[in-house]
């Protein structure tokens, strides 16, 4: 498993994921792109998901307060 954390907007994060996938020296079974919804427009958010899925990249996302929800659980 390899993790690359990058503070980018949704669309550029998907593009970076595609580049990393293409440059990988090994074939990954599943590639995930995970991002927050934050204040990105619905168009940016939805386009990122569509583009990722089109290129067989799994997508997971959260709202902008998911960290607080997790902290409140403990």
Query: Is residue 38 included in any domain, yes or no?
Result: yes
Query: Is residue 2 included in any domain, yes or no?
Result: no
Instruction: State how far the Cα of 7 lies from the Cα of 30, in Å rounded to an integer.
Output: 21
Q: Output the pLDDT for position 48.
A: 92
Query: Is residue 23 included in any domain, yes or no?
Result: yes
Query: Is residue 1 included in any domain, yes or no?
Result: no
For the chain, the distance separating the N- and C-terminal CA atoms, rounded to the nearest angstrom, is: 27
Is residue 3 classed as helix, strand or coil in its secondary structure? coil
Query: Is residue 16 included in any domain, yes or no?
Result: yes
pLDDT higher than threshold 90 for residue 11: no
Which domain, by its residues, includes 61? 10-73
Q: Mind listing the pLDDT tens digit for each residue in 23-68?
A: 988 888 889 988 888 778 889 889 999 999 999 999 988 876 656 6
Is residue 34 classed as helix, strand or coil in its secondary structure? strand
Instruction: State how far the Cα of 9 lies from the Cα of 56, in Å rounded to an integer.
Output: 19
Query: Is residue 3 included in any domain, yes or no?
Result: no
Overall number of domains in the chain: 1
Q: Residue 2 — very low, low, confident or very high, per pLDDT cuts 50/70/90?
A: low
The pTM of this model reads: 0.68
Which helix (H) or strand (E) segment is 35 a member of? strand 32-36
């Amino acid at each position: 498993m390899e993790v690359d954390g990058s503070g980018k907007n949704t669309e550029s994060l998907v593009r970076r994921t595609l580049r990393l996938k293409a440059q990988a020296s090994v074939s990954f079974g599943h590639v995930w792109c995970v991002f927050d919804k934050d204040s990105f427009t619905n168009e940016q958010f939805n386009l990122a998901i569509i583009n990722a899925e089109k290129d067989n990249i799994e997508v997971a996302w959260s709202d902008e307060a998911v960290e607080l929800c997790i902290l409140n659980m403990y």
